Amino acid sequence: MSQLPTPHQYQILTFGCQMNKNDSERLESIFRGMNMLPTDSSENADVIIMNSCSVRQKAEDKMYGMARNFAHLKKRKPNLIVGITGCMPGRDADGRMKKKLQGVDLFFPTQDMVFLPKWLGELNPSMRMMEDLDKDYLALRPTIQKKSQAFVTLQTGCNHFCTYCVVPFARGLERNRPLRHILDEANHLARGGCVEITLLGQIVNHYIAPDPRHWSTQNPYVQSDFARLLWEINQIDGIERIHWTAPHPIFMTDEVIDALTLPKQVNFLHLPVQSGSNAVLKRMNRRHTREMYIDLIATIREKIPHIALGTDIIVGFCGETKEQFEETVDLYKTCNFDISYTAQYSTRSGTLAKKIFHDDVSRDEKKRRWWVLQKIMEETVLKKNQLFVDSTVSVMVEECSAGWCTGNSNEMKRVRFKGDPPLVGSIVPVQIFKAEEWMLHGIKN
Ligand code: SF4
């Protein structure tokens, strides 16, 4: 009896945001379609794909370092195929990055992943080809990592050209997925046991359905496609929680704010502000002002008084004075955020900021400003978390080991309590008895 050939193995290394994670789940589907097996070991892999992030120089430097290591590995394993996708290839218009990367066989923007089977077959004819893939990579169904939680991408790319941001260059202009695909995917996930969906988009609340005839319910009262989509996903049986990221303040219309009160909506909103100074916001081309943002938060809190709020802030942007940074500190305190992802500005080639401004805030000063906000955040979140003590929160259980379970509450607070693995994937009530900055401790009711 002839033996079946050993399946080829692949390793996907993912860096950066949730959008990249969701794209890696699509890559995973391509490899599985080729009857290949996943591996965590680069030594065992026949194909290694790095899904790169370009948001900071540090992230790109990591890719160069890893590519160097894999170039060494290729000396021992000459048939190894190494590829890089994600943001780096997307923004390498002049080919400079590719030139600097050693031993990389495939360097392709995310949307070109549909050609992967063809390219792999050309590099190694023993890698089985599958039938032609849909030309639209977003139509590939992701292989989800956890049955109970999944990302659903609504759009990719961005038209806004904030002066510091690489996204419009790395991912191109905004492209919205057909509504039909999104609803099919959400229904498919629900049938497979998914209870929590995270909707993803660069400006998720700017989603515009390219195929409006596919709305499954008549809703003449809601004009915003994004708000309407939230209404529709709320109707899907099995989905218990809906979360979305990242919205832009200028598209937080009354309809979108109203949708925050839908029954399956999590009690959390991540709304990037980037700076509390109008002068800096203008240089960033953010198109909103400090006053607009503060008013927006007040309106949201009027409707949902106990909503938890997160934001993104960049400190040390070109020309940011100490006084302008103090305006950000003041905004942080006024908005009383639960969490902030604060970044020290790092100049990115290709962006408008790199071309027209000067990265003139010193590294030490950027670090100092980062720590100021970090300290305020830790104090604020501790105070806010203490309000949960003696109350019951509902927790989506993500993992349980050695008798302890963890998961996120509806407010996206991490919660830890005693429990066993069968709880994974369910939503359970937990009474909180102790609060720390980044963890609530409780007992399952
Ligand atoms: S809105 Fe601005 S920061 Fe967000 S992806 Fe678009 S360009 Fe980048």
Tell me if 183 sits within 8 A of 211, measured CB to CB. no
Instruction: Determine the Cα–Cα distance for residues 340 and 39; give it in Å rounded to an integer.
Output: 34
Q: Domain-by-domain residue ranges, the chain? A: 9-137, 140-384, 392-444
The rounded Å distance from CA 195 to ligand 1 centre is 29
- What's the CATH architecture for 140-384? Alpha-Beta Horseshoe (3.80)
The per-residue pLDDT for range 183-232, each reduced to its tens digit, is 999 999 999 999 999 999 999 999 999 999 998 877 778 889 999 999 99
Q: In the predicted model, is pLDDT for residue 428 greater than 80?
A: yes
The rounded Å distance from CA 318 to ligand 1 centre is 17
Pocket test residue of 203, 314, 354 for ligand 1, highest count of atoms within 8 A of CB: 203
pLDDT value at residue 256: 97
Residues with a CB atom less than 6 Å from ligand 1: 158, 160-162, 165, 167-168, 202-203, 248
The rounded Å distance from CA 444 to ligand 1 centre is 40
Pick from 289, 365, 296, 357: nearest CA to 327: 289
pLDDT value at residue 274: 98
User: Is residue 349 exposed (0-12), middle (13-18) or buried (19+ Cβ within 10 Å)?
Assistant: middle
Which atom of ligand 1 lies closest to the CA of 159?
6
pLDDT value at residue 56: 84
The rounded Å distance from CA 248 to ligand 1 centre is 8
The rounded Å distance from CA 312 to ligand 1 centre is 11
Going by pLDDT thresholds of 50, 70 and 90, the confidence category of residue 4 is: low
The per-residue pLDDT for range 390-419, each reduced to its tens digit, is 999 999 999 999 999 999 999 999 999 999
Query: Is the CATH number of domain 9-137 3.40.50.12160?
Result: yes
| CATH class of the region 392-444 | mainly beta
The per-residue pLDDT for range 30-75, each reduced to its tens digit, is 999 999 999 999 999 999 999 999 988 888 999 999 999 999 999 9
Which atom of ligand 1 lies closest to the CA of 166?
8
The rounded Å distance from CA 9 to ligand 1 centre is 36
Instruction: Determine the Cα–Cα distance for residues 310 and 199; give it in Å rounded to an integer.
Output: 16
pLDDT value at residue 58: 86
Pocket test residue of 18, 162, 275, 311 for ligand 1, highest count of atoms within 8 A of CB: 162
The per-residue pLDDT for range 155-190, each reduced to its tens digit, is 999 999 999 999 999 999 999 999 999 999 999 999
